[in-house]
Chain A
Amino acid sequence: MGGIMVHDFKLQGNVDRRCFLRCAMASGAALAVGEYSPPFSALALPVGTEKQDDAQFTVEAKFYQKLENKKIKCKLCPRECSVGDRERGYCGVRENRGGTYYSLVHSRVCAAHVDPIEKKPLFHYLPGTVAFSLATAGCNVNCKFCQNWDISQSRPEQVPAEFTPPRRVADLARQYDCPTIAYTYSEPVVFSEFLMDAADAGHEAGIRSVVVSNGYMQQESLKAAYGKMDAVKIDIKAFSESYYKDVVTGQLKPVLDSLVTLRKMDKWTEIVYLVVPTLNDDDAGFQGLARWIKANLGVDVPLHFTQFHPEYLLKNLPITPLPTLERAKAIADAEGLHYVYIGNVPGHPAQNTYCPKCRRMLVERVGFTASRMLIHKDCCPFCQHPVPGIWHT
């Protein structure tokens, strides 16, 4: 393992932060289609507590503009932070040092794990396979419901991390028989430079890359960074600017722009909408979202309505009731979307993929993995209706 820290945030959410960062988990081989996921084996690895050497993680940022007085303007995300000398941007992982802007998180992996691809979730991308999933600290928004706030809302020096340069990422992915590297858990927008280099290293080794992101990016950085991805999962936090302002500390419009751009780039994209009780669970929001997707991205883009669990700054709200998720799905189905899923509800039939024409089940999912996969040559084997996605390695 070479000291790489790999852990599962969801499984160990109540464990002491440093303790669970010491937990390493590795999976067996990639799943064969039609098989169940083998249980992961866990082993503990020592993690150094000494101060990290910042220099090895520091590279000049790619997307920024130099201003007078040693100030800079970040051009990575729509926030466009104006950052004075010795200060950091909103994300906390980019610092102005004497008028030059630096990323502090290149190769600074604070979380890594071998995950089923369904956990991202990506349902129309190599079902039944696993992804070498990694993160650095930092995020360019501050969602009040964040499940991984202890890394996403921290500065890199506050989180134990391992120096894991791009080639090492690719080597680890290959070592664990992962056909894919997934950039996830925190917010990959903020480690774009690392993501781009790791994707290149992966592709050289025959390993694909996917990103799990909020899509809150400027167009140029989106094209440059996510242009290197083989698939993208974007969160639409709500179909409401006020929600983005109050709950996310971001904006909806740039996210929608990102989705349109990804569509034009012909990137395989899936959308997740976390349904938070009382905040973004109204029919008009569901309908507006579905209509926008249909009009701008098409009916074949998978849409996942996922269940909220109280966390971070929204511990006062209940878990999303299942009927709410089913109502959301019914509304999106009625608008004509072909692939509407319900997530975070193990065993729900809306986790499976059905042919939009003959309604037969094509991919059966149990927990976070595919247990049966019938799609053949990108089509329904029963009626030959095309089913979009990246189905085979």
Chain B
Amino acid sequence: MELPAAAQKSVAHAKSKVVITRDALLRGTGSTVDSRRMLGLLDRAMQTLFDRDHAIEAWSKLVRPGDTVGVKVNSLGGRGLSSNLQLVEAICERLQEAGIKAGDIVVWDHDSDELERAGFRLSMGGTGVQCFGTDRVDYEPDLVAYGSVGSRLSRILTQRSSLLINVPVLKDHDGAGVTIALKNMYGVIHNPNKYHPNGCNPYIADLNMLPDIRGRMRLTLCDATTAQYEGGPAYKPEYSWNHNALIVSQDPVALDYTGWQIIERKRAEKGLKTLEAEGRAPHYIATSADAGHQLGTNDPQRIALVEV
């Protein structure tokens, strides 16, 4: 199986590019994200990541007509802290402009009810963009295993997604330290509760090594429009802030490392201890980068961080 871009870069010791785009006026004067500004934010992120003048050219580096694209969102945090609806709409719009049929795009998470609580409108069947949870199609009956992980995979991943775009949220996690790109894959398996001990380490890394996940992963588009620095993963308005940003990379480890630093800076600003001092530093990030996994890099010297 062909290695995903992140792994190829890792092997070649090239720098992993992480792009952060921000828009202070993303919400205008209100609290809701403006769709047009979101599309612009997304375009800037993609054009910068792929060094292209036009957004569609950037998307065309990722997808081809005929692909079936899974857009894996995170809907745990309800309307307050789930993958932003306007962002997901913008992604779907650009995917279609890049030649993907609407019906070949599925926006998904593990549970349909949770998607609805987060504001997504379910859609199953027909020619439009699909949106539903694994509960509608079940998990594969057979286990797949890597290292410490043995799980059944969502049939949305295995049967409806020839490639995956990961759309996590930037937030604190009471066990793992942070939950961003790599941890979002817990929503792909039937037994995520088994993999929370020891700060989710090495489970997160092992899970992302599963060929069905690693082989499909193309891009992480982290929603940092609203982020949370404490009290996660559930939405706690008192600990969240409008960061009005997207973090984009093909290296999920570099992206998680970058997101972790953003959360630490916010924690320091708020006078909170570091995650390390709280005994919940996200060690899974280093494990994901180690020689046994090579899912990407957590070395800041090897991360090309671009802020636009």
Q: Which residues of A contact B (CB under 8 A)?
A: 16-17, 51, 69-71, 79, 81-82, 84-92, 142, 144, 149, 153-155, 157-158, 249, 312-313
Contacts and interface: CB of A to CB of B under 8 A. Distances in A.
A154 B76 contact: no
User: What 7 A-B pairs have minimum CB-CB distances, sorted nearest first?
Assistant: A85-B234, A86-B234, A92-B193, A84-B174, A313-B150, A88-B193, A142-B194
Given A84-B174, A313-B145, A89 B139 contact: no
B191 A69 contact: no
A313 B149 CA distance: 9
Nearest to B148: A249
B197 interface: yes
Nearest to A313: B150
B145 A86 contact: no
Assign chain B's interface to a size class.
Answer: 20 to 34
A249 B234 CA distance: 26
B231 to A, nearest CB: 5
Interface residues of A: mostly helix, strand, loop or mixed?
Answer: loop
A16 B175 CA distance: 35
Interface of B: 76-77, 111, 135, 138-139, 141, 143, 145, 150, 174-175, 190-191, 193-194, 196-197, 231-234, 236
B109 to A, nearest CB: 13
Given A82-B174, A86-B76, A154-B191, 6 more contacts: A87-B233, A87-B234, A155-B190, A157-B135, A312-B143, A313-B145
Contacts of B197: 79, 90, 249
Interface residues of B: mostly helix, strand, loop or mixed?
Answer: loop
A343 to B, nearest CB: 26
B288 to A, nearest CB: 21
A242 B211 CA distance: 29
B196 A90 contact: yes
Contacts of B138: 158
Interface centre among B76, B145, B193, B231 (most CB of A within 10 A): B193
Contacts of A153: 190-191, 194
Contact of A90 (B194, B231, B232, B234): B194
Given A90-B197, A91-B193, A312-B143, A84 B150 contact: no
Interface centre among B135, B139, B174, B234 (most CB of A within 10 A): B234
A86 B190 contact: no
A154 B190 contact: yes
A156 B37 CA distance: 42
B233 A155 contact: no
Contacts of B175: 82, 84
B233 A84 contact: yes
A362 B143 CA distance: 44
Contact of B236 (A69, A142, A154): A69
A155 B152 CA distance: 12
B194 A92 contact: yes
A17 B138 CA distance: 12
Nearest to A79: B197
Contacts of A17: 141
B234 A158 contact: no
A313 B193 contact: no
Contact of B231 (A69, A157, A313): A69
B139 A158 contact: yes
Contacts of B150: 144, 312-313
